[in-house]
C-alpha cells in the first residue's frame, strides 16, 4: 500500500474511534489532556528561558485547541480559568503561591477569558457552518438521486407508452385489414346457404365457415373497441336510455346468431333510465351472453337480470355451466387485463371479450365483477351509475 493509503486508513480509524466515545467523557478527556500538555510545555519553556514567561501564550493555544475539539462554550471557558490559575501559581514569581496582586496578572486573566470567549464563539460558528454544509451536501445528494430515479421512471413510462402506442396501431391496422375479408367470407357463405343448391354435406361446411367468420368479426370489433377506449380516442356520447331496451336489443342480436339457446330476461319493477352509450352497453351484454353460450359448457337457459340497488343499475348474466376458474375471478375482481391466452380451446377469445367489457364499464364509471353461483354456473355482473358521477 502507498503511504497516502495508509494515512487515509489511519484517519478513518481515528475518526471512527473518536465518534464511538460518548460526548461528555470525550470533551473532558480532551480538556484535561490539553491542559496537562500546556503545563508540561510551559514547564519546559520556563526551565530554558528563566524569567521570560511564555506560559500565557501556551495556555491560550491550549484554550484554542480545546474550543475546536469540544462542544459548546463551557470547556473553553473552564480551560481559560484553569490556565490563568496555573500561570499565577506555577509560572509567576514567587512560584507555588497564589496572589491577585502580582504585576500583570489581572490583565493576563482578563485577556485569557476574553480570548477564550471569542475563540469559543468563532469555533462554534465554524462548527455550525460545517454542519450546515454537510447537511446541504447530503440534501443535494438526495435530491440528485431522487432526480435520477424520476428521470429513470419517466424514461420507462415513455418507453411503455411508445410500446402501447405501437401495439394499438398494429392492432387497429390488423383489425381493419381483417374485417373486410371476413365480412366478405360471411356474406358469401350466407348467399350460398340461401341459394338452396348446395348438398347437405357442403351446407354443414358453409354453416361452419359462416359461424367462424362471424366469430372472428366479433373478435375484430372487440379489439378495435378496446384499443380505442384504452387510447382515449373514443369519447362517450352519453344520453338517457332505458336499460330494458338496450338489453332487449342485445338479446335479439344474440338470438339471431344462436337461435338454439334460450335466454331469459328478468326485469325490475321500476324502469331503469340512466345516462349511457347504448351501443357500447349493448356490446357488453352481447359479449357476456356469447361468453356464457360458448364457454359455459352447458345448453341450459341463460338468465339476464336487470335490477336497481341504491343509485346503481345492476346487470347480471348467469349460466348453469361449469363456472369460472378462481384465478380468472381474482383477475376480474382486481381489474387486471384479461388479454392473456386462456387454458384451452373452449375458452379462446373469452379474455378479449371480458377486457372489452371491463374497459367499456370503466369508461362509464361503473364496476365489473365475476364469480360462481352457489347453485352452479358463472355469474357476471356490472353496475352503472343512475346519474352522472361527480369527478
**pLDDT tens digit string along 279-320?**
889 889 988 998 888 888 888 899 999 999 888 999 999 998
Partners of residue 380 on adjacent β-strands: 317, 370
Lowest mean pLDDT among 64-73, 127-136, 154-163, 172-181: 172-181
> Do the beta carbons of residue 384 and residue 313 sit within 8 Å?
yes
Assess whether the previous peptide bond of 94 is cis (omega < 30° from 0). Answer: yes
Return d(Cα 95, Cα 89) in angstroms, integer: 6
Write the pLDDT tens digit of every residue in 15-48: 666 567 777 888 888 888 888 998 888 888 877 7
Return d(Cα 292, Cα 378) in angstroms, integer: 8
Q: How many CB atoms lie within 10 A of CB 318?
A: 23
Closest CA relative to residue 265, chosen from 294, 241, 244, 288? 244
- Residue-level pLDDT at 379: 92
Return d(Cα 74, Cα 79) in angstroms, integer: 9
Closest CA relative to residue 163, chosen from 234, 228, 231, 233? 231
> What residue ranges of the chain are covered by domains with CATH 3.30.565.10?
237-385
CA distances 25 to 37, 39, 99, 287, Å, are 18, 21, 32, 79
pLDDT band at 219 (very low <50, low <70, confident <90, very high): low
Name the average pLDDT for the chain: 78
Whether the per-residue pLDDT at 56 is higher than 60: the answer is yes
For 320, how many CA atoms within 13 A lie in the half-sphere containing its CB?
11
CATH number 3.30.565.10 is the correct assignment for the domain at 237-385: yes
> Do the beta carbons of residue 275 and residue 388 sit within 8 Å?
yes
Q: What mean pLDDT do residues 330-359 have? A: 62
- Residue-level pLDDT at 304: 94
DSSP for residue 390: P
- Residue-level pLDDT at 346: 43
Predicted model pTM: 0.48
- Residue-level pLDDT at 347: 44
Write the pLDDT tens digit of every residue in 71-115: 767 787 788 788 878 877 777 767 777 776 666 667 767 777 777
> Do the beta carbons of residue 59 and residue 87 sit within 8 Å?
yes
- Residue-level pLDDT at 318: 93
Return d(Cα 87, Cα 31) in angstroms, integer: 17
Q: What mean pLDDT do residues 57-75 have? A: 80
Q: How many CB atoms lie within 10 A of CB 279?
A: 12
Amino acid at each position: 500500500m502507498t503511504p497516502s493509503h495508509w494515512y487515509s486508513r489511519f484517519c478513518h480509524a481515528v475518526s471512527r474511534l473518536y465518534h464511538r466515545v460518548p460526548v461528555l467523557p470525550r470533551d473532558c478527556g480532551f480538556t484535561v489532556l490539553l491542559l496537562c500538555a500546556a503545563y508540561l510545555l510551559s514547564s519546559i519553556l520556563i526551565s530554558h528561558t528563566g524569567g521570560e514567561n511564555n506560559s500565557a501564550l501556551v495556555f491560550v493555544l491550549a484554550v484554542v485547541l480545546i474550543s475546536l475539539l469540544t462542544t459548546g462554550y463551557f470547556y473553553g471557558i473552564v480551560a481559560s480559568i484553569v490556565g490563568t490559575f496555573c500561570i499565577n501559581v506555577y509560572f509567576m514569581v514567587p512560584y507555588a503561591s497564589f496572589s491577585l496582586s502580582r504585576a500583570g496578572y489581572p490583565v493576563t486573566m482578563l485577556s485569557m477569558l476574553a480570548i477564550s470567549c471569542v475563540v469559543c464563539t468563532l469555533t462554534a460558528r465554524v462548527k455550525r457552518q460545517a454542519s450546515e454544509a454537510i447537511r446541504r451536501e447530503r440534501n443535494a445528494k438526495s435530491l440528485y438521486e431522487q432526480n435520477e430515479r424520476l428521470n429513470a421512471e419517466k424514461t420507462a413510462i415513455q418507453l411503455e407508452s411508445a410500446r402501447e402506442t405501437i401495439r394499438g396501431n398494429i392492432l387497429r391496422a390488423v383489425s381493419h385489414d381483417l374485417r373486410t375479408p371476413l365480412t366478405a367470407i360471411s356474406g358469401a357463405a350466407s348467399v350460398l346457404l340461401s341459394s338452396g343448391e348446395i348438398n347437405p354435406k357442403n351446407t354443414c361446411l358453409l354453416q361452419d365457415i359462416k359461424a367462424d367468420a362471424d366469430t372472428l368479426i366479433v373478435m375484430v370489433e372487440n379489439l378495435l373497441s378496446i384499443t380505442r377506449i384504452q387510447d382515449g380516442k373514443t369519447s362517450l356520447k352519453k344520453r338517457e336510455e332505458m336499460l330494458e331496451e338496450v338489453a332487449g336489443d342485445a338479446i335479439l342480436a344474440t338470438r339471431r346468431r344462436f337461435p338454439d339457446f334460450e335466454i331469459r330476461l328478468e326485469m325490475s319493477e321500476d324502469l331503469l333510465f340512466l345516462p349511457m352509450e347504448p351501443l357500447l352497453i349493448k356490446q357488453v351484454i352481447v359479449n357476456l351472453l356469447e361468453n356464457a353460450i360458448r364457454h359455459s359448457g352447458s345448453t341450459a337457459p341463460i338468465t339476464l337480470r336487470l335490477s336497481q340497488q341504491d343509485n346503481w343499475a345492476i346487470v347480471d348474466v348467469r349460466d348453469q355451466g361449469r363456472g369460472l376458474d378462481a384465478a380468472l375471478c381474482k383477475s376480474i375482481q382486481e381489474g387486471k387485463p384479461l388479454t392473456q391466452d386462456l387454458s384451452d380451446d373452449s375458452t379462446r377469445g373469452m379474455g378479449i371479450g371480458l377486457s372489452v367489457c371491463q374497459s367499456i364499464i370503466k369508461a362509464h364509471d361503473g364496476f365489473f365483477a365475476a364469480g360462481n353461483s352457489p347453485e352452479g354456473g358463472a355469474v357476471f355482473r356490472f353496475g352503472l351509475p343512475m346519474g352522472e358521477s361527480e369527478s
